[in-house]
Amino acid sequence: MAKTGVTAPLGFKASGVACGIKENREKDLALVVSDIPATCAGIFTKNVVKGHSLKWSMKAIGRGTARAVAINSGCANACVGEDGDRDAFEMASLVSRLVGCEADDVLLGSTGVIGYRLDMDKIRTGLEEASGLLSGEGGTDAARAIMTTDTFPKEASRVYEHGGHTITIGGMAKGSGMIHPDMATMISVITTDANISRDMLDKALRGAADVSYNRISVDGDTSVCDKVLILANGLAGNPVIDSDGPAYRAFEDALKAVAIELARMLAKDGEGATKLIEINIKNAPDRNTAHLILNAIAKSPLVKTAIHGCDANWGRIITAAGYSGAEFDPDKVDISLGEIPVCKNGRAVPFDEAAALEILRAPEVVITLDMNQGTVTDRIWTCDLTCDYVRINGSYRT
């Protein structure tokens, strides 16, 4: 089987270790390193409150190149004042010495509980161990080390040919609670051996995030530490992609595929989730209307519990659309669950309850809302709301 994840592209090594931040002895420190300086780009949380490790990365990304990404789970390194900034700087400095680069070439991530300082003794020891374990096979260990309440590591990759060159994109992601559109959805690191300019890499990342990470919602919360980072080291040897054109579009398509695969995994692994829900909107008048309606439906606890209970209660779907803030004519709206129409022109239509039940019992449920008042199509992924979500989040800190 071909390699997947962040070590799939040429010239990337990774590792993941248990340094003791998580009390359960699970992996909690990930390191991803490119053999040579890589062009980098990032998208960061829009939350007004920003974690200290995140703030470090926002600054470091400005250089446009990076060698390494270090991410710990179990502690968000957020809301602890200047100590948190100092700890982030020390973490980057430690990695730089181990990898042989400048501190500014190290991007950071911290995810976990807010309001507690990083245990720097554990980070120090852990980074040394992680550095010694760096390997071309270490992607899955790294993916595991960034997990918080995730139930499985999330990795994806795509390989494509263009102009006689083979280009690989790999990625990992974490985060199953505090997930919502507008970036700040999770932590994801993507690597590629493509040779691509900073500007085009940034553009491709934003294009891909827009159809993937910004199209998932678990509970509507956006965290203070979330980001997606991409590193491109150029080892595929292709002529540099520095403008729009077939080479760029091939890269963007592959990047979108990786990002969408990771985003779907995030929604599917939403805290306590038993089902992936895909909500499609068709024939919306404009993108903003589509966005408002998709978000309201995906965030509605009433919709999410109904799907969990396999209850074809489409009234909650049109209700959520109605309070979304979008202006539209509800009397033109059609709603389907899977292929079954349940509402036509804003009104109930008779449907086969047994067939609907079968659709709702599946692990993936598709809801389609056809507005019949425009041409815009969009979609979002979310998950059902379950008792396990309540249990997980009633005792996360303790």
Active site residues: 185
Distance CA(242)–CA(178), nearest Å, equals 35
Q: How do 364-370 and 276-284 pair as beta strands? A: parallel
What are the φ/ψ torsions at residue 307 (nearest 5 degrees)? Answer: -65, -40
> Is 49 or 240 the residue whose CB approaches a second copy more closely?
49
For helices 82-99 and 52-60, angle between their N-to-C axes, nearest 10 degrees: 50
> Is 107 or 321 the residue whose CB approaches a second copy more closely?
321
Q: How do 154-162 and 165-174 pair as beta strands? A: antiparallel
Q: Which of 221, 242, 253, 378 binds a second copy (CB under 8 A)?
A: 221
314 binds a second copy (CB under 8 A): yes
Binding-site string for a second copy from residue 84 to residue 123, where x marks contact by CB under 8 A and - marks none: -----------------------------xxxx-------
Side chain identity, residue 180: H
Centre a 10 Å sphere on the Cβ of residue 278 and count the other Cβ atoms it contains: 17
> Is 319 or 372 the residue whose CB approaches a second copy more closely?
319
Q: Which residues 6+ apart lie within 8 Å of 349 measured at CB?
A: 341, 342, 343
184 binds a second copy (CB under 8 A): yes
Residue pair 333/349 in contact by the 8 Å Cβ criterion: no
Q: Distance from CA of residue 160 to its chain's centroid?
A: 22
341 binds a second copy (CB under 8 A): no
36 binds a second copy (CB under 8 A): no
CA distances in angstroms from 253 to 160, 171, 194, 250, 262, listed in the order given: 10, 14, 13, 5, 14
Q: How far is the CB of 193 from a second copy (least distance, A)?
A: 35
Q: How far is the CB of 294 from a second copy (least distance, A)?
A: 15
Binding-site string for a second copy from residue 261 to residue 300, where x marks contact by CB under 8 A and - marks none: --------------------------------------xx
215 binds a second copy (CB under 8 A): no
Q: How far is the CB of 373 from a second copy (least distance, A)?
A: 12
Only segment of 85-93, 100-108, 152-160, 175-183 that touches a second copy (CB under 8 A): 175-183
> Is 250 or 356 the residue whose CB approaches a second copy more closely?
356
178 binds a second copy (CB under 8 A): yes
Q: How far is the CB of 229 from a second copy (least distance, A)?
A: 20
> Is 182 or 253 the residue whose CB approaches a second copy more closely?
182
78 DSSP assignment = -
CA angle 213, 390, 394 (to 5 degrees): 105
> Is 142 or 293 the residue whose CB approaches a second copy more closely?
293
> Is 162 or 308 the residue whose CB approaches a second copy more closely?
308
Centre a 10 Å sphere on the Cβ of residue 315 and count the other Cβ atoms it contains: 15
Q: How far is the CB of 183 from a second copy (least distance, A)?
A: 11
80 binds a second copy (CB under 8 A): yes
> What is the total count of residues that contact a second copy (CB under 8 A)?
69
306 binds a second copy (CB under 8 A): yes
Q: Which of 93, 152, 244, 348 binds a second copy (CB under 8 A)?
A: 348
The DSSP element (H or E) to which 389 belongs, if any, is: helix 387-394
SS3 state at 180: coil
Structure tokens at 35: 């053999």
362 binds a second copy (CB under 8 A): no
Centre a 10 Å sphere on the Cβ of residue 322 and count the other Cβ atoms it contains: 15
Q: Which residues 6+ apart lie within 8 Å of 170 measured at CB?
A: 3, 4, 5, 6, 7, 8, 9, 12, 139, 155, 156, 157, 190, 191, 192, 258
Q: How far is the CB of 361 from a second copy (least distance, A)?
A: 13
Binding site for a second copy (CB under 8 A): 46-50, 76, 78-81, 113-116, 177-178, 180, 184, 219-224, 299-302, 305-306, 308-316, 318-324, 326-328, 330, 342-343, 345-348, 385-387, 389-398
